[in-house]
A and B are shown apart, each in its own frame.
Chain A
Amino acid sequence: MTRSKIYCALFSALFTTVIAILPVSLEAKTLRYASQDDPQTLDPHSANLLPTNRVLSQVYEGLVMRDKNFKIIPGLAVSWSQPDPKTWRFKLRPNVKFHEGQAFTADDVVFSVERALHPLSQLKSSLQGVQTAKKVDNLTVDLIMKEPNPVLLNHLFQFRIASKEWAAKNKSEIPQNYKDREDTFSSRNTNGTGPFKVTLRQPDVKTVLVANADWWNKNSPEKGNLTQVDLLPVKSNATRAAALLSGEVDFVLDPPPQDIARLKGNPNIKIVEGVEARFQYLAFDSNRSELLYSDVKGKNPLKDVKVRQAIAHAIDVEAIKEKVMRGLAVPTGSVVPPGVQGYSKDADKRPAFDKEKAKKLLTEAGYPNGFSITLDCGNIQPAADICQAIPPMLSQVGIRATPNIVPQATFFPKIQKFDTSMYLLSWGAATYDALYNLQLLLHTSTGENTGFGDSNYGRYSNPKLDDLIKKIGVESDMKKRDGMIRDASTIITNDVALLPIHLPLVPWAMRKNVDAVFAPNNVAYFFRFKLN
């Protein structure tokens, strides 16, 4: 070989190396993501909190996932069947590996089911009705139900699968225990099968997610191009907006509402708005024979459907939308929001804003001069602002409402003790199925933790609705079930059991070069994001 040939060979070798390296370095796409919250823990099963879920759903996966349109699709299970009403059989996806290389098998599913059902887990609801899991073979698992759950798949969306071998090796077989003052390995480290892995975790400073190059779903048409995501918590609203304007972050999950207009006016920034499956509503004490916070003695005006209808007619949702929410809301009349299983347009009707009608209804109910009442709210936004907008509207028809805005941490214990006459709250349909809302918000409260009426703090009770809810709970014919949900929603609307106000529009703010896909649970699924 001559010298020139050697040079030539060397050069071409060098050239190919450069070519091989170049695309990688060119494609390094790091999204700098800011939000006011930081995940509380990285343990897959110890907390059911939105900031935690937002990160862990990038790292851990479950048997099912949801596509761009939020429809359930196969995840780590490729298919499923129901041999009998109390058994669900899942065929698992072969050749899936955890981030640290362990092969994914039925043992991991059985282990994760046990872990998620552990008393220390906060994700028991992700396995609603499940008693235990049984391994059939290496890639088949049966979930044995203690009670039928026709919408198990909706629940399973929140279920996360961790590696049995990894948990055993790191002594993290059970979710983190607060009482024993433990600092478990799994609260700081992760090992999932998902599109991203956590490579750095500094609470309140920075969490780094790096794309998993071996992800089983990397050829999905929904796949974007991010190689890394830096999660940067920025608590202060003004600073978060400033960081986006100055280009220090690319994406802000929760831009301050008062800055949206200004951000929209900036040529480098765009806003993506989506509807979250969460609704703001007013609830009434329709149980007591005399209200705790009212000047009407000896009877409870809110027990009369006409009074509740009057309140519904007195509230100008459009004004709340424009003035309080700055346009970022969609008025609604249904307790089953769009996007949730069982939603029907027919049932989504809200009483028209009509002050004369409200006054007439009040007179008919025997309160021509109205009455006084206290409206309880938590001090988070936008609830506190809405809470101040409602009383003037009610006063125009004669109801003298006083807002009582207290810290969130005292608001919940208060209404949980039924210590309220009227309150404002928002509710997210965690399972994206109507039953969840109906059963917890509107079934007669038993006062105990039965899963029926647990969050019905006004203690509204309607035997007809209770019957219907029980039937919806066991009906497996989806078409029939949807019909029953529609009937239930209509009863609720006509009876003003609750008064839904609106669905908040969630704005995400980002630099122009970010392509974001909105998800109705207000989680940014980074694997769908693109950075141009």
Chain B
Amino acid sequence: MLAFIIRRLLQSVLVMVAVGFIAFSLFNFVGDPVSLMLPPEATQSDRDEVRKSLGLDEPFYVQFGKFVGNAVQGNFGISLRLGRPVSQLLIERLPATLELAMTAAVIGLLVGIPVGVYTALRRNSILAKSLLTGSLIGVSLPNFLIGIFLILIFAVWLGLLPSFGRGDVTKIGLWTTGLLTVTGLKALVLPAITLGLYPVTLIMRLVRSEMMEVLRTDYIKFARARGLSNNAVHFGHALKNTLVPVITITGLQLGGLIAFAIITETVFQWPGMGLLFIQAVQFADIPVMAAYLCLIGLIFVLINLTVDMLYYTVDPRLRISGSAAGGH
């Protein structure tokens, strides 16, 4: 077990270095931040001076070396756009993104599972069929379009919900939350639905197919033979066994929700990390982009690591094959 974890950790470190390196080398192509920091009217000497003061005149490997050295200590430098430490900016933005992603995941589970069960049990009803067709829209419509539609309906036409921002937030230590105020909760509705629509459709389809699979198995037949009620069979036996893959997928999806909240955050001016990142891209704000990509890389690595270890505990076959086990 220990050897497995250590090997996994070493691999994770390798992945992180690779992410850092790829991210950093990409930045050579995003262009010159200096030309965006200064107005076009600025003179060449102004440009050179700023470039030098940012350390951008140094060769690539020196810049990367310094970046890795500092990053290990949690110092990602200072944002070229906002002039503040990147780590501080990320810590400030993390709560907003996490709250949004979590809410979207919860919506995904709370809506996706019941609808999935329903469409599996009443697979020939009109409602189930229209839900399935509807779910195609959720999968195929791009996030920003859904967001703009929701804004048009609920903010512009009905005037019920705010179109942008996070409302009033409460500060609890380093964490800021919008869940404790009315404006904060109202502001959360539209972005969370926008972001949650995809997991809803995904989970619903997953539950449906798993459920149909399970309903065909022998132990369900046996349960029915024992004369158990439909509810007991469906929810006590079938659903319980469906949930294992659902929970795994939801866990992995959470990483995706955090990483891909970028679009939703941009549409709703949600002050999370994604918005910070997209503005950094437009400004060629290299320190923020590098730190963000590393952080997202880290989140994925951690989630995968946890999932791997869970598999290891759950699946005895991995333990038997011993040192040859490299993953799932």
Closest chain-B Cβ to A39's Cβ sits at a distance in Å of 9
Q: Are A427 and B43 touching (Cβ within 8 A)?
A: no
Closest chain A residue to B161, Cβ basis:
A246
Q: Are A239 and B267 touching (Cβ within 8 A)?
A: yes
B315 within 8 A of A: no
B141 within 8 A of A: no
A119 within 8 A of B: yes
Using A40-B81, A449-B45 as known contacts, say yes or no to A410 and B40 having CB atoms under 8 A apart. no
Q: How far is the CA of A206 from the CA of B165 in the complex (A)?
A: 9
Max chain B C-beta neighbours (<10 A), residue from A48, A206, A247, A428: A48
Chain A, range 210-236, C-beta contacts under 8 Å to B: 232-236
Q: Are B275 and A235 touching (Cβ within 8 A)?
A: yes
Q: Which residues of A contact B43 (CB under 8 A)?
A: 125, 440, 449, 451, 454-455
Chain A: interface residue total (CB-CB under 8 A): 61
B31 within 8 A of A: yes
Chain B, range 277-292, C-beta contacts under 8 Å to A: 278-279, 284
Chain B, range 136-162, C-beta contacts under 8 Å to A: 144, 148, 151-152, 155-156, 159, 162
Q: Are A427 and B40 touching (Cβ within 8 A)?
A: yes
B48-56, B105-113, B230-238, B303-311: which lies at the interface: B48-56
Q: Which residues of B contact A187 (CB under 8 A)?
A: 83-84
A248 within 8 A of B: yes
Q: Which residues of B contact A122 (CB under 8 A)?
A: 38, 42, 46, 50
Closest chain-A Cβ to B126's Cβ sits at a distance in Å of 35
B80 within 8 A of A: yes
A171-179, A286-294, A487-495, A510-518: which lies at the interface: A171-179
A503 within 8 A of B: no
A412 within 8 A of B: yes
State which of B40, B50, B55 has its C-beta within 8 Å of the C-beta of A425: B40
Chain B: interface residue total (CB-CB under 8 A): 57
**Chain A interface main SS type:** loop
B119 within 8 A of A: no
A41 within 8 A of B: yes
Q: How far is the CA of A50 from the CA of B275 in the complex (A)?
A: 21
Closest chain-B Cβ to A265's Cβ sits at a distance in Å of 14
Q: How far is the CA of A365 from the CA of B207 in the complex (A)?
A: 74
Closest chain A residue to B88, Cβ basis:
A183
State which of B44, B49, B275 has its C-beta within 8 Å of the C-beta of A119: B49
A200 within 8 A of B: no
Closest chain-B Cβ to A451's Cβ sits at a distance in Å of 6
Q: Are B32 and A410 touching (Cβ within 8 A)?
A: yes
B95 within 8 A of A: no
Q: Are B78 and A178 touching (Cβ within 8 A)?
A: yes
Q: Which residues of B contact A412 (CB under 8 A)?
A: 31-32, 35-36, 40
Q: Are A204 and B31 touching (Cβ within 8 A)?
A: no
Contact with A along B36-74 (1 / 0, CB 8 A): 111111111111111001110000000000000000000
A319 within 8 A of B: no
Q: Are A242 and B78 touching (Cβ within 8 A)?
A: no
Closest chain-A Cβ to B196's Cβ sits at a distance in Å of 19
A407 within 8 A of B: yes
A58 within 8 A of B: no
Q: Which residues of B contact A234 (CB under 8 A)?
A: 164, 269
Q: Which residues of A contact B155 (CB under 8 A)?
A: 242-243, 246, 248
B30 within 8 A of A: yes
B201 within 8 A of A: no
Q: Are A204 and B78 touching (Cβ within 8 A)?
A: no
A199 within 8 A of B: no
Chain B, range 232-272, C-beta contacts under 8 Å to A: 266-269, 271
Q: How far is the CA of A182 from the CA of B53 in the complex (A)?
A: 12
Q: Are B163 and A204 touching (Cβ within 8 A)?
A: no
Q: Which residues of B contact A177 (CB under 8 A)?
A: 53
A426 within 8 A of B: yes
Q: Are B267 and A430 touching (Cβ within 8 A)?
A: no
Q: Which residues of A contact B162 (CB under 8 A)?
A: 248
Closest chain A residue to B30, Cβ basis:
A409
Q: Which residues of B contact A298 (CB under 8 A)?
A: none
Q: Are A205 and B54 touching (Cβ within 8 A)?
A: no
State which of A49, A246, A413 has its C-beta within 8 Å of the C-beta of B37: A49
B33 within 8 A of A: yes
Q: Are A235 and B269 touching (Cβ within 8 A)?
A: yes
Closest chain-A Cβ to B135's Cβ sits at a distance in Å of 25
Q: Which residues of B contact A436 (CB under 8 A)?
A: 41
Q: How far is the CA of A242 from the CA of B55 in the complex (A)?
A: 41
A238 within 8 A of B: yes
Using A50-B39, A246-B156, A449-B43 as known contacts, say yes or no to A410 and B164 having CB atoms under 8 A apart. no
Q: Which residues of B contact A188 (CB under 8 A)?
A: 84
Max chain B C-beta neighbours (<10 A), residue from A46, A242, A427, A436: A242
B82 within 8 A of A: yes
Q: Which residues of B contact A48 (CB under 8 A)?
A: 38-39, 42
Closest chain A residue to B269, Cβ basis:
A234
Closest chain-A Cβ to B286's Cβ sits at a distance in Å of 11
Q: Are B266 and A454 touching (Cβ within 8 A)?
A: no
Q: How far is the CA of A220 from the CA of B268 in the complex (A)?
A: 39
Closest chain A residue to B84, Cβ basis:
A183
Closest chain-B Cβ to A417's Cβ sits at a distance in Å of 11
Q: Are B82 and A40 touching (Cβ within 8 A)?
A: yes
Closest chain-B Cβ to A410's Cβ sits at a distance in Å of 4
A47 within 8 A of B: yes
State which of B39, B83, B268, B278 has its C-beta within 8 Å of the C-beta of A176: B83
Q: Which residues of B contact A407 (CB under 8 A)?
A: 30-31
A181 within 8 A of B: yes
Q: How far is the CA of A454 from the CA of B46 in the complex (A)?
A: 11
B208 within 8 A of A: no
Closest chain-A Cβ to B264's Cβ sits at a distance in Å of 10
Using A183-B88, A239-B269, A248-B162 as known contacts, say yes or no to A428 and B148 having CB atoms under 8 A apart. no
B276 within 8 A of A: yes
Q: Are B166 and A455 touching (Cβ within 8 A)?
A: no
Contact with B along A406-438 (1 / 0, CB 8 A): 011111110010000000011110100000100
Q: Which residues of A contact B276 (CB under 8 A)?
A: 204
Q: How far is the CA of A254 from the CA of B151 in the complex (A)?
A: 19
Q: Which residues of A contact B47 (CB under 8 A)?
A: 416
**6 further contact pairs, Cβ within 8 A, besides A49-B39, A416-B44:** A41-B82, A204-B275, A242-B163, A243-B155, A408-B36, A411-B35
Q: List 10 A-B contacts (CB under 8 A).
A: A178-B50, A205-B165, A236-B144, A238-B148, A238-B267, A239-B164, A242-B148, A248-B164, A410-B32, A449-B43
Binding site for B on A (CB under 8 A): 40-41, 43, 46-50, 119-120, 122, 124-125, 176-179, 181-183, 187-188, 202-206, 232-236, 238-240, 242-243, 245-248, 407-413, 416, 425-428, 430, 436, 440, 448-449, 451, 454-455
